[in-house]
Chains A and B, each alone.
Chain A
Amino acid sequence: MNPYQIFDESVSFEEKALKVFKYQSENDPVYGRFCKALGITGPVNIAEIPLLPIQAFKEKEIVTSKKNLSADSYQLFQSSGTSGMQRSKHIVVDPDLYKQSIFDGMWEFYDLHDYVIWAYTPGYNSNPNSSLVWMLNALIEREDSGHSKFLDLDKPLLQNEIDEIRASGKKLMLFGAAFGLLDLAERSNVDIAKDTIVMETGGMKTFRREMTKQALHEQLAKDFGLPLEQIHSEYGMTELLSQAYSVGTQWFDCPSWMQVSIRNPENPMQEVEQGEEGLIGVIDLANFYSCSFILTGDKGIMNAENQFQVLGRWNPKNLRGCNFLIDQD
């Protein structure tokens, strides 16, 4: 299968997923062993494809083949983390495939011609292998007005730069991790256009603050002087080469080559009922050369429109031991 066929909308998602499964289960040793241990060899539909727990990216190199690849011919992404902490590694054999996934994915939600991209990424700059920074860099490089850029850290937004974007006829899309954006808003005293999009990229938990996503979005809207529907979110991670977007609500949609399902933590082969909480499972066909079938450690729910919400990390720490559970005991 030509990997770029994943973007071909004339072929059904299921058909493409089954082909990718065949390729990866045969060529990715880690995923191959996983499927074999579960006794899954030839699924006939998506529901029969097992999702690899995301921790595998911390334990092993998940790649279909590194043969004939020199170290400088592939891109390595690594999650951020403190020293001693195990970090996820994602070997990206074809960075152009990732680039197309980024651009085509955004096109499904936004008219990229209209936007200048600003990125505020404190905390990520210390990680030279950040997939988020790579993605933002790609978006900045493709935009040709000369206004797109990474913002200097610890500096406020400048009114004249905002006015220049307005004068150019474009709109601003401001990317940033949750609390970095709050700091930026606090530091800045500017009048930004009401059609500006603030794109929050996650990173909800820091050692300093903890708040719900809804509260964060309300705060960002207030601090930037924007309507709440202008606060959007991106759901992505080192282990994925596609992103889902929530456009002014708490519900995420996927691009056409990515699919999310909510899995039963007690049996990840099963989906939970709509509206029930479970583990977020992702099929990301852009992960063509690693593993497209991933069980994340995130908690989520799905609505009737196949949109999903991210409810934080799944916390299984309470399964053992004595634990009074109000609904069970």
Chain B
Amino acid sequence: MNEAMENNFQDHIQKVSRATKAWLQPDNLSLKKTIDKTVEEGLFSFEDIKFQIRTLKQKVDSGQVEEWAKRANLLETKNSIGQKVLCLHAGNLPLVGFQDALGTILSGTDYYGKLSKKDPFLLSSFLKMMDEVDLDIQIQYSTELADFKDLQADKVLFAGSEESVDPVKEKLFKLNAVNDNTEFVIRTAKFSIAYLDNENPETLRDMIEAVFRYGGKGCRSVAVIVSPFTLSKVKCHFTDYVEEFWMKNPQLKKPKENLAYQFAFNKAIERDQAWLDDFLVQETDDFPDQEFVLNWVVGDHDKVKELRSRFGNSVQTVYRTGENINGIKTEFLSNAQTPDLWWEPDGIPIL
């Protein structure tokens, strides 16, 4: 990269960083309006949106946009100017597509975003801001996939599953949005595991945040706790903290009737459980395949490793509250819902 290009790219990073900071300012009326609209339409709770935006603001204000670019060596070799990246954003939690959108724009590629109909306002407000700062890249977004007809993307990014890949690809090929050379980056992680080895109030609060924020949705949310303590031992204590959390963060989405069915099933097989109205905690090491359910497993580090291996690529992260778990990569539980901008979905860096 010659000096002029390097300067241009440094300028690009600075513009992206400044615009992101500006977008996150409390006096940004456009963002405020989109938050109100999102809440009004019942898409997400105000508390969850506020939490997400506060987290992003903290990261961006501490210089993480520049730091991310630096970590990814964007100034050296890795920016991919001229490439077309199509991001298919999920909408299970507020601004879940923010990292992909920011990363793609930061890298200097042309960004094409299929916004989720379940989160159509928040991300578009950010993208509008990006579009207005005169970056030397294409930024296009829509909630309709058909708007990407004939795009011929170089890369497609999305979170999915084995079953969802074929229909998505089929649709994209039909629209001529991709071709045989398009690279598909598909994330499959669905949930995280935490090892809880103490009952300190701070640890329990971190745990509750990691489990119950966004109604338990998102791959960084904890769906399985491994602990030397039985559920019956910590049940009351645990419940108090959950109630405290829900007082401040009422859960917007409610479980379906099958949760009561699961409760009855647990009763039938005499499995220990705690019914928390909008959530069920059950003592089992089964695969966590239901929404609004937390699986509690009595075990040690070896059990964590066994589950990590058994659940394979469905696991995003293993969290710890104390000492390292030898042999597997872990993160601190307190970072579960406040990841750095450069956190790696499925262990693969975005940049």
Contact = CB atoms under 8 A, between A and B. Distances in A.
Interface of A: 30-31, 33-38, 50, 52-53, 55-56, 59-60, 265-270, 315-326, 328-329
Interface centre among A33, A315, A319, A321 (most CB of B within 10 A): A321
Contacts of A34: 264-265, 267-268
Interface in B30-61: none
Given A266-B258, A322-B187, A325-B164, A317 B287 contact: yes
B264 A38 contact: yes
Interface in B240-280: 256-258, 260-261, 263-265, 267-271
A30 B268 contact: yes
Interface stretch (B19-27, B72-80, B154-162): B154-162
B216 A269 contact: no
Contacts of B289: 316-317, 319-320
A315 B269 CA distance: 22
B89 interface: yes
Contact of B89 (A37, A265, A324): A324
Contacts of A265: 258
A323 B90 contact: yes
B161 A322 contact: no
Contacts of A35: 264
B91 interface: yes
B160 A324 contact: yes
Contacts of B271: 59
Given A30-B268, A321-B218, A324-B89, A267 B257 contact: yes
Given A38-B261, A317-B314, A320-B216, A33 B159 contact: no
B208 interface: no
A329 to B, nearest CB: 4
A323 B268 contact: no
Interface in B276-311: 287-291
Nearest to B289: A316
Given A38-B261, A316-B290, A322-B90, 5 more contacts: A267-B257, A318-B161, A318-B164, A320-B223, A322-B189
18 contacts: A33-B268, A34-B264, A56-B269, A59-B269, A266-B257, A268-B261, A317-B314, A321-B191, A321-B218, A322-B92, A322-B218, A323-B90, A323-B161, A324-B158, A324-B159, A326-B164, A326-B167, A329-B91
A55 B116 CA distance: 35
B118 A324 contact: no
B325 interface: no
B70 interface: no
A272 to B, nearest CB: 13
A315 B218 contact: no
Contacts of A52: 265, 268
A240 to B, nearest CB: 18
A31 B270 CA distance: 11
What are the 7 closest A-B residue pairs judged by CB atoms, nearest first? A321-B190, A37-B264, A34-B268, A322-B159, A267-B257, A37-B267, A266-B256
A319 B316 contact: no
A265 B168 CA distance: 23
A60 B163 CA distance: 32
Given A30-B269, A34-B264, A324 B88 contact: yes
